[in-house]
């Protein structure tokens, strides 16, 4: 559905561009804004008189129809050049999921000023198995304008939706609906009302749950076995066979039994529990772990979490693919972990994480032959004496002027034009429960995503880290920087493409990563390429590590091809990276990567 809240449908054609993130990644060029003459052609269709004012009808045709543009008809008032009406269709090639999207607007005179009186959206899209076709229509009526010469102060709260809004009866809306429904639409609402009443009945809910609770071979093997008790707000799930079988487990084949349980309360609080137990046949070792999360104040994103168990875990995720899954990057952790996350003030988030670990080497385990053959140089586990660690982490992040809305008891964050600033503090506390780890570390940085007009979207990330003390540290306490993945384009905001080997730091370091997607701003103007979906991308990064005076700089350029796999939007990219480093001779490389679109946040992974 579209226009489920008013912020989604802000079409102001007086502006140069119109950006609606739910519809498209690119701003669409307004046919009536400052950039219109370079983008559109206009044809006179005639005129008429309304209230002694001459109104002109003008056809709008894009000069470059492959770009993010409109086509259709606009109506302009003589002399004042005010918009009277628009009937415009967006270029469907540049929409996220809609096959077509049309905007109708009608302006009327209020207090001698033409203001939006009525707005309509018409859209088509395909979804589900068999790509079924759907269409939707939204009518909006704007009334009760208030005029004032005082300066309007716009706050960060953009919208409040009461819980009762979704359960209002048809009688409630009948008097408030300014646009009368057709007989067919009234019949549809009446039929829908009866279906809604039926769907909320206890008999129907139990029947629906019983159908979903049936277990098939496909669910047992591939998707997992779900069980619903909707009346009590409970859902539990048992992992499928493919998830239970850990063919490439530590020490050979391991079999794991796991599942989760979710309880949602009437006040929107939520309890989440999951647990896993797994057994290794080669070493005859049994491991288990579980976690509990309780969200108790959705408006503040407040969540308490507790986890405990025994796991084989990676020393660091900042290893290249040739070493990431090698047994030299694994140790055994017996742990208890307590955490709490909350929004203290609007845009200000605090995350507290306390963990106690008993770390031990896996050098005594018998390893599978395939792991030695696949990782001949990095598969030997690290040997060390068992030790205990008590660790506390605090992370404070702040996004100034964060826009938000309330939907019942839930808060919906709508973002800000400002970067998100972060400051973190981490400390290993010795002597608590025989802990021997003793260090302090701080990190500061920012993350930012912003659009540069019609030139595309930029994303930047920077971090500065400083170890204040390192009285007693082990390898997991180091800061790591991922080495080069040959031919694979790793996440450009968290890693470097041509760093060479993996580096670490115990003193201080600073990093900066940047990527810019042109979204067709360049390729749409190049002959032959403009007929394709290909998009250009550029970026780079810098890293300085004080420990060894490492200085690394790199840049890359590439082309990405957007495509769909079912309802999932993807981009397949090819990139050419070049670098300068005082430690590495690796100067250039072609790479390939995959970018994924998140429909819930309306953002790409990078």
In tens, the pLDDT along 412-428 reads 898 899 999 999 999 99
Radius of gyration of the chain (CA): 29
Q: What is the pLDDT of residue 476?
A: 96
Within a domain: residue 169?
no
On the question of pLDDT at 2 being above 80, the answer is: no
* pLDDT value at residue 129: 63
Q: Point out the domain boundary residue: 115, 145, 175.
A: 145
Q: 137-141, 282-286, 331-335, 546-550 — which is least confidently predicted?
A: 137-141
Query: Do you know the residue count of the chain?
Result: 606
562-592 pLDDT tens trace: 998 888 889 999 999 999 999 877 789 999 9
If asked whether residues 377 and 346 sit together in one domain, one would say yes
Q: What is the pLDDT of residue 58?
A: 97
Q: Is the model's pLDDT at 521 over the cut of 70?
A: yes
pLDDT at position 149 = 80
Which one is predicted more confidently, 442 or 147?
442
pLDDT over 70 (residue 376): yes
Residues 101-154: tens digit of each pLDDT: 999 999 999 888 899 999 999 999 888 666 788 888 888 888 888 888 887 777
Rounded to 5 degrees, what are φ and ψ at 398? -140, 125
Pair (570, 477) in one structural domain: yes
Q: What is the reported pLDDT for 164?
A: 67
In a domain? residue 177: no
Co-location of 451 and 538 in the same domain = yes
From 128-142, 449-463, 513-527, the region with the lowest mean pLDDT: 128-142
In a domain, 155, yes or no: no
C-alpha distances out from residue 275 to 288, 306, 361, 442, 534, Å: 7, 12, 24, 33, 44
In a domain, residue 168? The reply is no
| Residue 79, pLDDT score | 87
172 belongs to a structural domain: no
The answer for residues whose C-beta is within 8 angstroms of residue 100's C-beta and 6 or more apart is: 89, 90, 92, 122, 123, 124
Strand 157-161 with 403-407, pairing? parallel
**Residue partners of 309: CB distance under 8 A and separation at least 6:** 276, 287, 288, 289, 290, 334, 335
How high is the pLDDT of residue 6?
66
**Domain-embedded: residue 159:** no
Q: List, as own/partner pairs, every contact residues 39-48 make where C-beta atoms lie below 8 angstroms and the sequence separation is at least 24, other chains included.
A: 39/63, 39/64, 39/67, 39/69, 40/69, 45/73, 47/78
DSSP code for 163? G
With respect to residue 152, please indicate whether it lies within any of the assigned structural domains.
Answer: no
pLDDT at 596 over 70: yes
* Claim to verify: residue 432 and residue 464 sit in the same structural domain: no
Ramachandran region of residue 500, left (φ > 0), alpha (ψ -120 to 50) or beta?
A: left
Q: Which residue has the tokens 């060894």?
A: 548
- Cα-to-chain-centroid distance, residue 356: 31
Report the range of poorest mean pLDDT among 167-176, 319-328, 521-530. Answer: 167-176
Asked whether 24 and 95 are in contact (CB, 8 A), the reply is yes
122 SS3 class = strand
Mark whether 273 and 415 lie in a shared domain.
yes
d(C-alpha 531, C-alpha 235), whole Å:
48
**Is residue 531 helix, strand or coil?**
helix
* CA 572 to each of CA 89, 229, 527, 558, 597: distance values in angstroms, whole numbers, following the listed order: 29, 41, 21, 10, 12
Domain C-terminal end among 220, 238, 256:
238
CA-CA distance, 97 to 270, in Å (whole number)? 31
Q: Domain boundary at 93, 124, 145, which?
A: 145
User: Over the stretch 21-63, which tens digit does the pLDDT of each residue have?
Assistant: 889 888 999 999 988 999 999 999 999 999 889 999 999 999 9
Distance (Å, whole) CA 284 – CA 252 = 11
Query: 300 and 426 in one domain?
Result: yes
Across-strand partners of 133? 126
> What's the total number of domains in the chain?
4
Predicted confidence at residue 162, as pLDDT, reads 75
Q: Dihedral angle at the C-alpha atoms of 145, 146, 148, 154, nearest 10 degrees?
A: -80
Section 373-390 average pLDDT: 93
Q: Residue 194: phi, psi to the nearest 5?
A: -65, -40
Same domain? For 431 and 448 the reply is no
- Give residue 29's pLDDT: 94
pLDDT for position 245: 96
- According to the model, what pLDDT value does residue 1 have? 66
Phi, psi of 430 (to 5 degrees): -80, 160
Kindly state whether residue 162 falls inside one of the protein's structural domains.
no
Q: Whole-prediction pTM value? A: 0.89
Query: Average pLDDT over the chain, rounded to whole?
Result: 92
Statement to judge: residues 539 and 569 lie in one domain: yes
Q: Are residues 397 and 454 in the same domain?
A: no
Whole-angstrom CA distances from 453 to 17, 60, 518 are 8, 22, 10
Residue 523 CB burial class (10 angstroms; 0-12, 13-18, ≥19): buried
**Res. 5 pLDDT band, cuts 50 70 90:** low
Which distant-in-sequence residues (6+ apart) come within 8 Å of 537 by Cβ?
515, 516, 517, 518, 557, 558, 559, 560, 573, 575
Q: Which domain holds residue 209?
A: 187-238
Question: Does 353 share its domain with 419?
Answer: yes
CA angle 540, 541, 542 (to 5 degrees): 145
- Please check whether residues 32 and 134 belong to one and the same domain: yes
Give percent of the chain with pLDDT exceeding 90: 70
Alpha-carbon gap, residue 24 to 96, rounded angstroms: 5
Q: At residue 8, does pLDDT exceed 80? A: no
Max CA separation in the chain (angstroms): 93
pLDDT in tens, 338-371: 999 999 999 999 999 999 999 999 999 999 989 9
What is the rounded distance in angstroms from the CA atom of residue 258 to the CA atom of residue 264? 21
Hey, what are 305's tokens?
Answer: 């979490």
Same domain, 272 and 255: yes
Alpha helices in 215-278 (DSSP H): 217-218, 241-244
The predicted pLDDT at position 466 comes to: 98
């Amino acid at each position: 559905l579209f226009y489920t809240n008013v912020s989604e449908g802000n079409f102001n054609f007086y502006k140069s561009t119109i950006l609606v993130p739910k519809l498209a990644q690119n701003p669409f060029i307004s046919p009536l804004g400052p950039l219109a003459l370079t983008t559109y052609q206009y044809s006179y269709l005639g005129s008429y008189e309304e209230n002694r004012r001459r109104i002109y009808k003008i056809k709008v045709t894009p000069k470059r129809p492959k770009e993010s543009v409109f086509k259709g008809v606009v109506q302009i008032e003589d002399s004042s050049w005010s918009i009277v009406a628009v009937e415009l269709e967006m270029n469907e090639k540049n929409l996220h999921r809609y096959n077509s999207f049309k905007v109708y607007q009608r302006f009327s005179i209020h207090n001698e000023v033409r203001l939006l009186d009525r707005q309509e959206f018409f859209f088509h899209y395909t979804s589900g198995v068999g790509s079924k076709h759907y269409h939707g229509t939204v009518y909006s009526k704007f009334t009760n304008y208030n005029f004032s010469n005082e300066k309007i102060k716009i706050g960060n709260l953009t919208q409040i939706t009461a819980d009762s809004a979704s359960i209002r009866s048809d009688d409630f809306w009948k008097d408030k609906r300014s646009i009368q429904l057709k007989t067919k639409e009234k019949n549809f609402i009446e039929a829908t009302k009866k279906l809604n009443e039926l769907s909320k009945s206890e008999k129907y809910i139990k029947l629906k749950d019983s159908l979903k609770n049936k277990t098939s071979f496909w669910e047992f093997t591939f998707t997992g076995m779900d069980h619903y008790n909707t009346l009590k707000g409970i859902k539990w799930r048992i992992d499928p066979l493919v998830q239970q079988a850990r063919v490439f487990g530590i020490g050979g084949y391991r079999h794991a039994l796991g599942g989760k349980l979710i309880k949602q309360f009437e006040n929107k609080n939520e309890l989440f529990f999951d647990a896993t137990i797994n057994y290794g046949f080669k070493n005859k070792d049994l491991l288990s772990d579980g976690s509990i999360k309780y969200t108790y104040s959705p408006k503040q994103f407040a969540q308490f979490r507790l986890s405990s168990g025994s796991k084989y875990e990676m020393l660091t995720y900042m290893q290249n693919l040739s070493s990431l899954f090698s047994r030299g990057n694994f140790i055994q952790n017996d742990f208890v972990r307590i955490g709490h996350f909350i929004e203290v003030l609007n845009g200000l988030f605090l995350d507290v994480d306390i963990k106690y670990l008993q770390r031990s080497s896996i050098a005594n385990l018998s390893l599978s032959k395939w792991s030695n053959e696949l990782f001949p140089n990095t598969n030997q586990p690290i040997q060390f004496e068992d030790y205990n660690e008590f660790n506390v982490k605090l992370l404070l992040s702040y996004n100034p002027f964060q826009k938000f809305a309330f939907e019942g008891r839930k808060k919906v964050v709508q973002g800000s034009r400002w970067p998100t600033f972060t400051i973190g503090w981490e400390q290993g506390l010795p002597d608590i429960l025989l802990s021997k780890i003793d260090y302090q570390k701080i990190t500061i940085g920012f993350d930012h995503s912003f659009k540069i007009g019609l030139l595309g979207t930029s994303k930047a990330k920077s971090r500065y880290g400083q170890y204040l003390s390192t009285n007693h540290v082990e390898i997991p306490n180091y800061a790591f920087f991922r080495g080069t993945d040959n031919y694979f384009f790793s996440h450009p905001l968290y890693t470097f493409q041509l760093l060479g080997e993996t580096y670490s730091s115990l003193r201080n370091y600073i990093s900066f990563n940047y990527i810019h997607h042109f979204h067709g701003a360049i390729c749409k103007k190049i002959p032959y390429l403009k007929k394709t979906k290909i998009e250009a991308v550029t970026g780079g990064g810098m890293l300085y590590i004080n420990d060894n005076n490492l200085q690394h700089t790199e840049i890359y350029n590439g082309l990405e091809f957007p495509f769909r796999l079912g309802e999932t939007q993807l981009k397949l990219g090819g990139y050419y990276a070049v670098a300068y480093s005082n430690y590495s001779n690796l100067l250039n490389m072609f790479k390939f990567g995959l970018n994924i679109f998140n429909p819930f946040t309306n953002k790409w992974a990078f």
